[in-house]
Amino acid sequence: MNSHSDLAIEARGLVKILGSTRAVDGVDLNVRAGSVYGLLGLTGAGKTTLIRILAARLRPSAGTARIFGHDTVHETDQVHAHVGLTGRLAVVDDDLTGMENLILRARQLDRPGASDIRAGELLDAFGLMEQAGRKVREYSSRMRRRLDTAFRIIGGPDLLLLDEPTADLGTTGRERVWDVVRALVTEGTTVLLATQYIDEAGLLADRIAVLDHGRIVAEGTAGELEADSGSDAIWIRLRDPEDRFRAQRLLFETLGVSVEAESDPAVLSAQVDDPECAALALAELSLADIAVITFTFGRSSLGRTFLSVTGDPDSLPVMGEPADPAEPGDPGPADPDLGAPGEPAAGAECGCEDGGEGPNGTA
C-alpha cells in the first residue's frame, strides 16, 4: 500500500451520463486509507456505476478519481494492481471446485494470511461450505456471485470495493462476512462498502455517504448523520420476535407514525419526540401481553436520517431481504427475514400527531 498519501480514494466532480440519465452526478469523495467507507443508497442510486469508475472499469463523463494517487483514466494498470472489485460477474474457474478456486488464488498471490484455512473461513462465511467440493459450473448464479466475492477477498487487495456483499445472505452469513471485513481492515485493507442496508453501513463503516439519484446528499460518521436528523426515537426489543408484526401494528395505531422493523427481528423503532407518547406506547404493549425486554428513548436512528435526506420512505430497505429470487439448486439464505406486514387502516392516535404512516412507511 502506498505510504505517501493518507487517502486511498480521492474523487472530484465525478459525472457519468448513461443515455439520458446522470447515473453519477458530481460526486466528491475522500476515503482514508485503512478505513471502511460506506456508500449507502437504494437500488438505482448509482452505487455500482460509481464503483466501476473507481475501479477503472468505466470512464467518467467528467471529473477525476485517484486510487492511492493513481488516475483511474490514465493509470489503469496501476489502479487495477491495487483494487479488488466484487460484483455480478464471477471470475472463478468453472472446472474447479469452490475450495480449489480459493486455494489456487491464495497460492498465486502468496499473500500473508491467505491460506487453506482462510479459504474455508470464507466459504463458511458465504454459506458455501456444503458446496465447497462441487465444480463451480454446477453453482447457481447467486452461489457464483458469493464465491466471486470470496475470491476477491482472499487476495487481500489494498482497496476492496464491495458491491452489496451480503444481499442474499441470512443473518448468520451477514455477521460472518462483517467479521471478515473487519479482519481485512486490521491487516491494512481499505474497504469501500456499497450497500442498501442501513444497519450494515452503521455497523461497519467509519464514515458513510448517502447516495441518492447519483448525488451524495449526506456524509459523515453514523453518529454525525443521526445527530443531523434533529429528532428523537424509541427502540423496543421484544422478548418474542414472533410478536413483531402485532407489536408493529399496535405501535402504529398508538403513535400514528411509521414504525421501522430493524435488522434484528426482535427490535422495532419509531420517531417520537414526546416522552409521554413513548410511555403510552410501552403501556399499550403491556396491555396487549406483548413482553418487552428493553425500551430506549433517544436520538433518532440512521434509518430515520436516511429517510429524511432521500425522501423515499416507500423504498426503505429491510436488511437481509434477498436481492433476487432463489434459483434452482441454490438453497438461499438459511434464515431469511420475515416479510413486512400489510398496510393497516389508520388507527387511534396518542395526540402527538394526526394521522401518520403505516409500518412500511405507506399512508
What tens digit of pLDDT does each residue of 30-49 get? 999 999 999 998 888 999 99
| Residue 1 falls inside a structural domain | no
3-state secondary structure the chain: CCCCCCEEEEEEEEEEEECCEEEEEEEEEEEECCCEEEEECCCCCCHHHHHHHHCCCCCCCEEEEEECCEECCCCHHHHHHHEEECCCCCCCCCCCEHHHHHHHHHHHHCCCCCCHHHHHHHHHHCCCHHHCCCEHHHCCHHHHHHHHHHHHHHCCCCEEEEECCCCCCCHHHHHHHHHHHHHHHHCCCEEEEEECCHHHHHHHCCEEEEEECCEEEEEECHHHHHHHCCCEEEEEEECCHHHHHHHHHHHHHHHCCCEEECCCCCEEEEECCCHHHHHHHHHHHHHCCCCEEEEEEEECCHHHHHHHHHCCHHHCCCCCCCCCCCCCCCCCCCCCCCCCCCCCCCCCCCCCCCCCCCCCCCC
Query: Kindly report the CA angle at 356 between 350 and 357, in degrees rounded to 5?
Result: 130
d(CA 64, CA 26): 10
- Asked whether residue 260 falls in the same domain as residue 123, the answer is no
- Asked whether residue 215 falls in the same domain as residue 123, the answer is yes
Domain end point (choices 220, 245, 262) = 220
Order of strands, edge to edge, in the sheet holding 259-261? 259-261, 267-271, 232-238, 292-299
According to the model, what pLDDT value does residue 318 have? Answer: 44
- Asked whether residue 262 falls in the same domain as residue 216, the answer is no
Q: Which residues of the chain have pLDDT under 70?
A: 1-5, 86-90, 110-116, 227-232, 263, 297-363
Polymer length of the chain = 363
| Residue 2 falls inside a structural domain | no
- Asked whether residue 28 falls in the same domain as residue 94, the answer is yes
| Residue 226 falls inside a structural domain | no
- Asked whether residue 213 falls in the same domain as residue 236, the answer is no
- Asked whether residue 145 falls in the same domain as residue 256, the answer is no
| Residue 127 falls inside a structural domain | yes
- Asked whether residue 244 falls in the same domain as residue 205, the answer is no
d(CA 293, CA 282): 11
| Residue 225 falls inside a structural domain | no
According to the model, what pLDDT value does residue 326 have? Answer: 40
CATH number of the domain within which 277 lies: 3.30.70.100
According to the model, what pLDDT value does residue 115 have? Answer: 64
- Asked whether residue 172 falls in the same domain as residue 264, the answer is no
According to the model, what pLDDT value does residue 256 have? Answer: 86
- Asked whether residue 36 falls in the same domain as residue 154, the answer is yes
Residue 193, strand partner residues: 38, 162
Give the domain extent around 71.
Answer: 7-220
- Asked whether residue 247 falls in the same domain as residue 206, the answer is no
CATH number of the domain within which 170 lies: 3.40.50.300
Cβ burial of 311 (10 Å; 0-12, 13-18, 19+) is exposed
- Asked whether residue 130 falls in the same domain as residue 188, the answer is yes
* Parallel, antiparallel or unpaired: strands 62-67 and 7-18: antiparallel
Count: domains in the chain: 2
According to the model, what pLDDT value does residue 3 have? Answer: 43
Amino acid at 248: Q
- Asked whether residue 127 falls in the same domain as residue 196, the answer is yes
pTM above 0.75, yes or no: no
Cell of 239: 422478548
According to the model, what pLDDT value does residue 179 have? Answer: 87
Q: How many of the other CB atoms lie within 10 Å of CB of 280?
A: 17
Whether 61 contacts 15, CB under 8 Å: yes
Order of strands, edge to edge, in the sheet holding 159-163? 83-85, 159-163, 190-195, 36-40, 207-212, 215-220
